[in-house]
Amino acid sequence: MTDAIVSCRGVSKIFGSGELAVHALREVDLEILPGDFATLAGPSGSGKTTLLNMIGALDTPSSGHVVIDGQDLGSLSKAQLSDLRLNKVGFVFQAYNLIPVLSARENIEFVLELHGLERGERRQRATDILREVGLEGMEDRRPAQLSGGQQQRVAVARALVSRPRIVLADEPTANLDSRTTGELVQLMYRLNREMGTTFVIGTHDPRVMEHSKRHIELLDGRIASDERIG
Amino acid sequence: MMNTIRIFAPLAWRNLWRNPRRTLITLVVVSVGLWSVLAFNSFLNAWTQASKDTTLQLLLGQGQIHAAGYMDDPGVETLMPPPSDGLLKALGDKRINAWATRLVVPSVVQSEYKTLPVMIVGVDPKAEGRVSSIPGKVVEGRYLNGPDDDGVVIGRHLAERLKTGLGRRVILMSQGADGLLAEQSFDVVGLYDVDQQTEDYYVFTGRTAGQKFLRLKDEIAEIVFTIPKDQDLAPVIRSLKAVAPDMDVRSWKQLSPFLAATNSFMSGFIYIWLSVVFTLMAIGIVNTQLMAVFERTHEFGLLQALGMKPRLVLIMVTMESTLLIGLGVLIGMAMAAASIWVTSDGIDLSGFARGLELVQGGQVLYPKFDAGSFVLFSLVIWILGIVVALWPARRASKCSPVEAMRMAT
């Protein structure tokens, strides 16, 4: 028994069957520890997204076990997996994926509503986290009225507001220019340092990897290297 | 549940307007569909009521009392005495608007050119005017002056067939009370104009004059009565039967089964129309909602990725349908209410008078607002609409979050 937030043991994922079967992950063993700021790198098709999906309880392995905060995903129903994601995991997507009909604040409050928080507390926490990510004064703007970088900040705020055990980001800077990328990476890095939030970031971007405290390299569905930096 | 509604209702409402064109199409489908059901129902009711009123006001009344056996063999042998004190008291019931006695026997009418079978109807003109519309339908000459008026009022079409007219004389022949032939000439004092069938068949004279012609004392053939409220009909018939157990008391439904069946069919027809409209509407709703769900597959997956349970996705999409169809229902109700209000002064169909005669339809229809059917049909449309929209909602709840992630990356 370790204090790992995520523990993968012999995880394999096969898409399709027979001659058309694709082995996206092969016998992966991995532990994500509290406070990690890990980057998951590797060429396209190496299994980064598949592994992030496993860690985020979005998908279940074909074989092996994924345990998140002590809960084995294989034993959970769809509703229980939803609960697990709601309470333990925050997501940041490449395409931001904000709800277009809600303002920046409402996008964040929506997650808190799913948690059943009262209106006053929701509003306070949404306002605080938006200030934290540098979007004070933009609370009432809808996604279409924000730049790409600002939308991604809202997405980070949404992922963090419910204080999850781990935040997973899949290519979060792929659609951003270099200045915005720098700002976003600094933001995530600061939140990791100051709030102790665990981040696992799937990326090709060297500017993200520069701040990484742990670098995991995937190749053909296997972990080719896993090194802690500094 | 209330908490869930509070969270998702505003989101559902905003989602509706993400594609205003599609939302408007669904609104039009629902509102026009419901409007057609409500307006058609009101029009059908008006038509049924007008047809019924026209027929009942002609001669039938809401009910009639005869001697036992008269309806099977109407004639001088099956007449009855004037109403007894007990029956008079029962006819004074407040629920009975008016009543009149008639002498009705089969006869033949003869002119210089033709002899035709008719029913001779002896009336008390004053009382008759309160139960029948025919005294007001005299188009030439006059109606009868009193029970002893020995002129005749005949239908305009009968006059044409007999090649006779106002001021001419016709001969009526029938069996007298003594079993011998009764024959007498009468002056034509008036011509009335209703439907052709009635005009051909009924010839009116004063009741006392008719009794004298048939060598009767004071016997009558029927008592006709009118009742303003439909719901009073059955209890009044029961109370009349109680005071006149040996007499034949019948409601209009028994006297004219065809009219009763037509009424019943018309009431049932609206449900056929409702099912046709609903089927078309359901196809429209399912199509547009499925399209909306298909376009937002990614978003439903995303919501589940954020921790929203599939059940909540189902509730959210169902709520969108509930709001959308509910809004369509409200618009449809408003449109139908406006249509009824605009036509409540009457829809004049007198331009189709000859055709309406054939189906015994009223010439002026008065659509009425019926709160009960408004609420019932609107609720049926709303609830059934939500039920069919559950299919697209279920599809939305089945979206896989990992597929959404794949689309996102």
Distance from CA of A180 to the nearest CA of B (A): 19
Mark whether A13 and A124 lie in a shared domain: no
B76-91 average pLDDT score: 93
Band of pLDDT at residue B357, cut at 50, 70 and 90? low
Angle between helices B257-295 and B310-343 (to 10 degrees): 140
Work out the percent of chain B whose per-residue pLDDT is above 70: 95
Confidence of residue B55 (pLDDT cuts 50, 70, 90): confident
Contact at CB, B304 and A82, closer than 8 angstroms: yes
- Number of domains within chain A: 2
Kindly report, residue by residue over B86-110, the tens digit of the pLDDT.
999 999 999 999 999 999 999 999 9
Q: In chain B, which residues have their Cβ closer than 8 Å to the Cβ of A91?
A: 305-306
Q: What is the 8-class DSSP label of residue B224?
A: E
Tokens of B212: 């004298």
The whole-number pLDDT of residue B64 equals 96
Q: Are residues A134 and A178 in the same domain?
A: no
- In 10 A of CB B191, how many CB atoms? 22
Res. A123 pLDDT band, cuts 50 70 90: very high
B176: which 2 tokens? 């007298």
Name the least confident of B130-144, B170-184, B242-256, B295-309.
B295-309
> Does residue B52 register a pLDDT over 60?
yes
Q: Is the pLDDT of residue B39 over 70?
A: yes
Least confident of B23-27, B160-164, B388-392: B388-392
Residue A120 domain flag: yes
Residues A24 and A138 grouped into a single domain: no
Kindly report the three-state secondary structure assignment for every residue of B33-101.
Answer: HHHHHHHHHHHHHHHHHHHHHHHHHHHHCCEEEEECCCCCCCCHHHCECCCCHHHHHHHCCCCCCEEEE
Q: Are residues A63 and A119 in the same domain?
A: no
**Euclidean distance between CA atoms A112 and B362, whole angstroms:** 65
What band does B408 get if pLDDT is binned at 50, 70 and 90? very low
Chain B residue numbers with beta carbons less than 8 Å from the beta carbon of A93 are 302, 405, 408-409
CA distance A23 to chain B (A): 16
User: Angle, nearest 10°, between helix axes B257-295 and B297-305?
Assistant: 70
Mean pLDDT, chain A, rounded, equals 90
Tokens of A56: 């985020």
Q: In which band, very low, low, confident or very high, does the pLDDT at B405 lie, cut at 50, 70 and 90?
A: low
Exposed, middle or buried, B231 (CB in 10 Å: 0-12/13-18/19+)? exposed
One domain for residues A157 and A173: no
Pick B377 or B8 by higher pLDDT: B377
Which among A164, A183, A211 is the end of a domain? Answer: A164
DSSP single-letter state for residue B350: G
CA distances from B346 to B59, B172, B342 (A): 24, 41, 9
Answer whether residue A82 is part of any domain. no
Q: Are residues A185 and A209 in the same domain?
A: yes
Q: Would you say residue A40 lies in a domain?
A: yes
Instruction: Clarify whether residues A18 and A37 are in a common domain.
Output: yes
List CB contacts (< 8 A) between A82 and chain B.
Answer: 304, 307-310
Domain boundary among A147, A164, A181: A164
Domain housing A160? 100-164
- Domain assignment present for residue A18? The answer is yes
Per-residue pLDDT tens for A40-78? Answer: 999 988 999 999 999 999 988 999 999 999 999 988 998
- For residue A27, pLDDT over 90 is answered with yes
| Distance in angstroms (rounded) separating the CA atoms of residues B57 and B79 | 23
Inter-chain touch A58–B405, beta carbons under 8 Å: yes
The minimum CA-CA distance between A57 and chain B, rounded to whole Å, is 9
User: B306–A116: do the CB atoms touch at under 8 Å?
Assistant: no
With beta carbons under 8 A apart, name residues in chain B contacting A78: 309-310
Tell how many helices (H) and how many strands (E) occur in chain B.
15, 12
Examine the domain organization and report whether A132 and A178 are in the same domain: no
Question: Within a domain: residue A78?
Answer: no
Phi-psi region of A23 (alpha: psi -120 to 50; beta: other; left: phi over 0): beta
Residue A29 identity = D
Lowest mean pLDDT, pick from B32-41, B188-197, B321-330, B353-362: B353-362
Q: Which distant-in-sequence residues (6+ apart) come within 8 Å of B262 by Cβ? A: B48, B51, B360
Predicted local distance difference test score (pLDDT) of residue A13: 94
Distance from CA of A86 to the nearest CA of B (A): 4
The predicted-structure confidence for A145-194, as pLDDT tens digits, reads as follows: 999 889 989 998 999 898 898 999 988 888 888 888 888 888 888 889 88
**Whether residue A159 is found in the same domain as residue A170:** no
CATH number, position A18: 3.40.50.300
Contacts of B299 in chain A (CB under 8 A): 99
* Position A79 in a domain: no
User: Does residue B202 surpass a pLDDT of 90?
Assistant: yes
d(CA A31, CA A29): 7
- Are residues A63 and A169 both part of a single domain? yes
Shortest alpha-carbon distance between residue A137 and chain B (Å): 23
Asked which of A112, A139, A164 is the last residue of a domain, the reply is A164
Mean pLDDT along residues B351-380? 76
Q: Does residue B350 belong to the interface with chain A, where contact is any CB pair within 8 Å?
A: no
Tell me the CA end-to-end span of chain B in Å, nearest whole number.
35
B5 touches chain A (CB under 8 A): no
pLDDT, tens digit, 9 for 90 and up, residues A78-96: 889 999 999 999 998 888 8
Verify that A51 and A156 share a domain, yes or no: no
Whether A103 and A72 have beta carbons less than 8 Å apart is answered as no
Dist CA A225 CA A38 (whole Å): 12
Which tokens is B68 given?
């036992």
pLDDT more than 70, % of chain A: 99
Q: Residue B60 pLDDT > 50, yes or no?
A: yes
Residue B272 is predicted with a pLDDT of: 87
Instruction: Kindly determine whether residue B405 and residue A93, on different chains, have CB atoms separated by under 8 Å.
Output: yes
State mean pLDDT over B42-69.
89
Terminus-to-terminus CA distance in chain A, angstroms? 26
Position of tokens 């189902």?
B314
CA distance B297 to B314: 13
Query: Mean pLDDT lowest for which of A33-42, B46-55, B177-186?
Result: B46-55
Specify whether A230 is located in the same domain as A184.
Answer: yes
Is the predicted pLDDT of residue B352 greater than 80, yes or no?
A: no
Determine, yes or no, domain membership for A83: no
**Per-chain mean pLDDT for chain B:** 89
Is A88 inside any structural domain?
no
